[in-house]
A and B are shown apart, each in its own frame.
Chain A
Amino acid sequence: MEAGEEIEDGEPSTPTYKAHHHPPHLPPPMRSSGVSLVLSVADLVLRFVAIGGTAGSAIAMATTSETLPFAAPFVRFRAEYSDLPTLMFFVVASSVVCAYLVLSLPASVVHVVRPGARSSRAILAFLDTVMLALLTASASAAAAIVYLAHRGSARANWLGICQQFTSFCQRITASLVGSFAAAVVLVALVFLSALSLARRA
C-alpha cells in the first residue's frame, strides 16, 4: 500500500521501515524483542538439559552387566542389557536422540540471533516431534520390559529376574528416569517452537 507512494518523491528514501509497516518506535528487525529472546534462550537451555538426560540414560543402560557368584548347569547367571532386545533398542534410540540434539544446537543458536527465521524453526519443531516420538517409544518399551523384570507375569509364567539380579535391575530402572525427563523436555521444546512461530516476529 505505501510501497509505491514513497518512491515518487525525489528525495532519498529510507524505505525499509515504512515498506514493512513498522512503526518508528520498534527496534530494527535484526534485534529480537524481549519475549522472543527469552523463548529462544530457553530453547537453547532446554536442549542442553535434554542432551544430559539422554546421554546419561544411554550410558547408564549400556554399562550394565552383572554376574552372580554361583553357577548351575542349566541357567546362566549373567545379565546384560543386550540380552533383552528392547533395552538394546532403548540404548540405540537414546543415542540417536542425543546426537540429534547436539547437532541441533547450532540451529538453536541461530534462532537466538535471528528470531525471524520461521521455516527453520518449523523444520526444527517437526524434527523435535519425530525425536520425541522415537524417545517416548524407546523409553516406554524399556519401561514395559523393566516392569516385567520386576514383577514377571503370573499368567504367562514369566518370572521376574530382579529377585536375583538386583543391581542390574536398579540400574536399568534408574536409567529410565533420565530418558522420560528428556521426553518431557522435548515436549517443552515443541511448545516453545510453536509459541515462537505464533508470535509476530
Chain B
Amino acid sequence: MSGSDTSGSVHVDGHGHGHGKASSSYDGAGAPAPAPAPFQGHRKAGSGSSDVPFLLRSGGSGGDGLRRCLGLIDFVLRVAAFGPTLAAAISIGTSDERLSVFTNYFQFRARFDDFPAFEFFIVANAIAAGYMVLSLPFSAATIMSSKATGVKLLLLICDTIMVGLLTAAASAAAAMVYVAHEGNLRANWVPICLQFHGFCQRTSGAVIASFLAVFVLMVLIVMAAFTMPRRTHHTAS
C-alpha cells in the first residue's frame, strides 16, 4: 500500500512483485512502459505499487486518463452501433406481408425485394454491422497505446466512408417509406401503407435504427478528430 498518486513518482513497495523497474520508468517514458504496468498492477490485487485505477493513470503526457476514457467510450459506442445496423438489416430482410384480400388486377404482397432501395439498405447495413465488429480490435489498440496515430487515422477514414454509405442507404429507404406513407398526387402514386400496415411499420423502424447508427458514427468521428494524437517524427531533446 504505497498510496501512489498519478504524478508519476511511484515508489516500489516491499511487497516486491518486480514492479520496480517498470514503475521507475514512469518518470519520462512514452507509452509502452505504462501500458503493461497498469495491467499488472490492476490484476494483482493488493500489489501496492500501483493501486490507481486504470483510467486515472497518467503516462507520458498529461490528460492521458481523459484520452483512455474517450477510447473506452469509442469502444462502447462501436458495440452500440452494431446493434441497430444488424437489427435494421434483419428486420427489413424478413419483412414479407400478404394481405388476405384477393382481386384479379392487384397483387397484395409486399416484400423487400420489390423495392431496390430496400435491397441497397439491407446490403449497406450488413456492411456497416460487419465493419463495426471488425473495427473493435483497432479501437482497442488505440486505447492501449496513446501514440497510435496511424490506427486512429485509419479508423477515422473508414468511419467517414461508413457514414456516407449508411446515410445514403438510410435516406434512400426513408424516401421510399415516405412515398409509401404519403403517396404522391401528381405522379398518381397510391400510398401503400394504407393496406400494408406491418410492412410499413417494420421498414419505418428499421430506417430509424439506421439513422441512430449514423449519429453514433458521427460522434465517433468527432471524438477521433478532437483526440487525434500528433505523430512525432523525432523525440524531444
Interface size classification for chain A: 35 or more
The answer to the question of A129 belonging to the interface, with a C-beta cut-off of 8 Å to chain B, is yes
Contact B189 A198 (CB under 8 A): no
The answer to whether A157 and B114 have CB atoms under 8 Å apart is no
B176 touches A144 (CB 8 A): yes
What's the minimum C-beta distance from A190 to chain B, rounded to whole angstroms? 5
Chain B residues positioned under 8 Å from A155 (CB to CB): 107, 109-110, 114-115
Partner of B187, one of A130, A139, A159, A194: A159
Number of A-B pairs, beta carbon distance below 8 Å: 139
Complex: chain B residue closest to A136, CB-CB? B167
B interface secondary structure, majority: helix
Q: Which residues of B contact A183 (CB under 8 A)?
A: 164
A144 CB contacts on chain B under 8 angstroms: 117, 171-173, 175-176
Q: Per-residue CB proximity of B136-171 to A under 8 Å, as 1/0?
A: 000000000000010011001100110110011111
On whether A197 and B225 interact (CB within 8 A), knowing A140-B169, A141-B174, A187-B161, the answer reads: yes
Determine whether the beta carbon of B190 is less than 8 Å from that of A157: yes
Neighbouring B residues of A161 by C-beta, 8 Å: 187
A40 at the binding interface (Cβ < 8 Å): no
B186 close to A141 (CB less than 8 A)? no
Q: Are A129 and B218 in contact (CB under 8 A)?
A: yes
Q: Is B21 an interface residue (CB 8 A)?
A: no
Report if B231 contacts A (CB, 8 A).
yes
Asked if B102 is at the interface of the complex by the 8 Å CB criterion, the answer is no
Cα(A85)–Cα(B189), bound, Å: 13
**Interface residue? A133 (CB, 8 A):** yes
Complex-state Cα separation, A155 to B187, whole angstroms: 16
Of A46-54, A56-64, A106-114, A145-153, the one touching chain B: A145-153
Interface flags, A32-51, vs B, CB<8A=1, else 0: 00000000000000000000
- Inter-subunit contact B237/A2 (CB<8 Å): yes
Name the one of A136, A148, A156 contacting B192, with C-beta atoms under 8 angstroms.
A156
Find chain B residues with CB under 8 A from A156 CB: 110, 114, 180, 189-190, 192
